[in-house]
């Protein structure tokens, strides 16, 4: 069968790290070829090499029969390669239409025909059949999930013959995932080839034809998707067997740790919740339902319009994240790049940000020993792949950046921890570790609020769930009442 892409002995090293180690791969024309591996396996480095974002040390790339020792982003786009990165590459101050056609001239002349541009952009967006995607909307006003759909639309609009999708469903709910899968099938029918990267292994059996496993920068194996089980894939990826993802937990107490009373604002209508000690409480709903917005009110990232917050029975005023941290409330945001990790700081500095006062002396000087120990503890506990704690967060893979963000709140020993898409872009091994950490925190009497678009995850990890629809609380479910159908029905406003 004809190969549209061939990778021959690609190698790329960074100080202390071999990102790609003599890696080879063949991708057939017209297939959806899945690429899987743990965080730090080399997937992102491979993508960037194909896209021309980085130059490999050695090896060649053959695309449609033509050999390249290196590519540039312009050349990669010109020959028909499109990439949807895990981290967004959009201009937030421009509209969706302007982002879709950035650098393209639709008509002759100095100025872009704005009406035509908006019309063509809306036609592309309408393929997604998702309410709220309007061509004239500024990207900065979009949720993370909608920004992901715009990234996908941007690549679809360029009619690339090879499209690489890096964790495209990470911020999407079940409904948007179905839309994406339909678009992938349409793209394949129109002659496009897809390289699909995802840590959600169940998805591969719905969308992929073949799957290649990477580990530590090396090629492991390629299988037809129907010839390999999920457990076999995991074993290839991590080099070991993993136990069941979701353990049974019975740590919830009757003691209320956090309570909101008619809390509203930030686009969410007022409602109340109670979070008990030892409980994992889920906030469910579709994209744009108001889950993140309500969490931001609790954390003080957005100001409330009304309502009160109580911690251990006492009323507290949370008007900023600084207030929240002082009360022992932490939040892992859904967009680690914008609101989580400080990419220009190293891992150690990121992890100790919330505890600087605690590890500083009266003169304000940080205790270097405590700082080092705190960072080392989280690097080990979360298995952050890095040559040292001095590595810049911006040089880590997306999944390892997510671990750093989680690590800083674990170091702070929060009473209440809000996790907004906690395993987005995180590999199966690390997911299990995060689930174990959540269980351990609950066993210690902490209260956890989880927001997740991964249906299996939010069902498996939470004790109760509050379900939102268009900024309004629509349902409350105990764990025994959970079914995908019931959750989706409430989340859809039915």
- More confidently predicted of 307 and 173: 307
pLDDT for residue 258 is more than 70: yes
pLDDT score, position 247: 66
pLDDT for residue 242 is more than 70: no
Report which of 61, 65, 55, 57 is spatially closest to residue 24, judged by C-alpha positions: 61
Q: Which of 229-233, 262-266, 464-468 has the lowest mean pLDDT?
A: 229-233
Q: Which of 264-278, 282-296, 350-364, 412-426 has the lowest mean pLDDT?
A: 350-364
Mean pLDDT across the stretch 139-166?
Answer: 84
pLDDT for residue 315 is more than 90: yes
Q: Which of 62-76, 330-344, 430-444 has the lowest mean pLDDT?
A: 330-344
Q: Which of 15-24, 235-244, 325-334 has the lowest mean pLDDT?
A: 235-244
pLDDT for residue 178 is more than 70: yes
Mean pLDDT across the stretch 100-115?
Answer: 77
Q: How confident is the model at residue 31 (pLDDT cuts 50, 70, 90)?
A: very high
pLDDT score, position 244: 54
pLDDT for residue 99 is more than 80: yes
Q: What is the mean pLDDT of the chain?
A: 87
pLDDT for residue 241 is more than 60: no
Mean pLDDT across the stretch 177-199?
Answer: 87
Distance separating alpha carbons of residues 433 and 422, to the nearest angstrom: 12
pLDDT for residue 297 is more than 90: yes
DSSP track, 318-369:
--SHHHHHHTTEEEE-S-IIIII--TTSBHHHHHHGGGTTTTB-TTS-B-HH
Q: Which long-range contacts (CB under 8 A, 24 or more apart) does 94-98 make?
A: 94/138, 94/139, 95/135, 95/136, 95/137, 95/138, 95/139, 96/121, 96/125, 96/133, 96/134, 96/135, 96/136, 96/137, 96/139, 96/142, 96/150, 96/153, 97/121, 97/122, 97/135, 97/136
pLDDT score, position 269: 96
Mean pLDDT across the stretch 416-433?
Answer: 82
pLDDT for residue 12 is more than 70: yes
Contact 396, 404 (CB under 8 A): yes
Q: Which of 120-129, 286-295, 301-310, 455-464 has the lowest mean pLDDT?
A: 120-129
Q: How confident is the model at residue 51 (pLDDT cuts 50, 70, 90)?
A: very high
Pairing mode, strands 447-451 and 416-420: parallel
């Amino acid at each position: 069968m004809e190969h549209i892409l061939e990778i021959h002995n690609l190698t790329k090293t960074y100080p202390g790290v071999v990102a790609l180690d003599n890696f080879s791969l063949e991708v057939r024309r017209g297939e959806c070829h899945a690429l899987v591996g743990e965080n730090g396996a080399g997937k992102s480095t491979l993508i960037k090499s194909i896209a021309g974002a980085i130059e490999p040390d050695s090896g060649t790339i053959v695309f449609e029969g033509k050999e390249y020792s290196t590519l540039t982003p312009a050349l990669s786009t010109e020959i028909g390669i499109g990439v949807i990165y895990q981290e967004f590459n959009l201009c937030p101050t421009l509209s969706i239409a302007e982002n879709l056609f950035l650098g393209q001239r639709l008509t002759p002349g100095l100025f872009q025909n704005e009406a035509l541009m908006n019309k063509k952009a809306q036609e592309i967006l309408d393929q997604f059949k998702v309410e709220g995607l309007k061509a004239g909307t500024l990207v900065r006003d979009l949720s993370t999930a909608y920004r992901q759909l715009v990234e996908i639309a941007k690549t679809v609009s360029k009619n690339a013959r090879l499209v690489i999708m890096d964790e495209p469903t990470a911020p999407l709910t079940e409904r948007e995932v179905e839309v994406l899968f339909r678009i992938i099938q349409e793209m394949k029918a129109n002659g496009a080839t897809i390289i699909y990267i995802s840590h959600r292994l169940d998805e591969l059996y719905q969308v992929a034809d073949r799957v290649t496993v990477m580990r530590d920068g090396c090629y492991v194996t390629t299988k037809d998707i129907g010839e390999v089980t999920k457990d076999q894939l995991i074993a290839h990826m991590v080099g070991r067997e993993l136990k069941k993802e979701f353990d049974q937990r019975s740590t919830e107490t009757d003691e209320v740790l956090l309570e909101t009373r008619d809390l509203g604002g930030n686009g969410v209508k007022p409602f109340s919740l109670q979070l008990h000690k030892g409980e994992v409480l889920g906030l469910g709903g579709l994209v744009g339902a108001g889950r993140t917005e309500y969490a931001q009110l609790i954390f003080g990232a957005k100001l409330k319009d009304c309502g009160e917050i109580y911690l251990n029975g006492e009323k507290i005023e949370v008007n900023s994240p600084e207030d929240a941290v002082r009360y022992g409330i932490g939040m892992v945001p859904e967009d680690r790049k914008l609101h989580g990790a400080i990419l220009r700081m190293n891992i150690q500095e990121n992890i100790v940000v919330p505890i600087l006062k605690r590890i500083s002396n009266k003169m304000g000087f940080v205790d270097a020993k405590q700082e080092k120990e705190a960072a080392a503890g989280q690097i080990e506990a979360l298995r952050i792949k890095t040559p040292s704690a001095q590595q810049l967060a911006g040089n880590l893979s997306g999944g390892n950046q997510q671990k750093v963000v989680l690590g800083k709140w674990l170091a702070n020993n929060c009473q209440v921890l809000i996790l907004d898409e906690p395993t987005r872009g995180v590999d199966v091994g690390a997911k299990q570790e995060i689930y174990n950490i959540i269980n351990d925190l609950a066993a210690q009497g902490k209260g956890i609020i989880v927001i997740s678009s991964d249906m299996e995850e939010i069902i498996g990890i939470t004790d109760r769930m509050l379900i939102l629809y268009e900024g309004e609380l629509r349902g409350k479910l105990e764990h025994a009442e959970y079914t995908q159908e019931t959750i989706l029905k409430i989340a859809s406003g039915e």
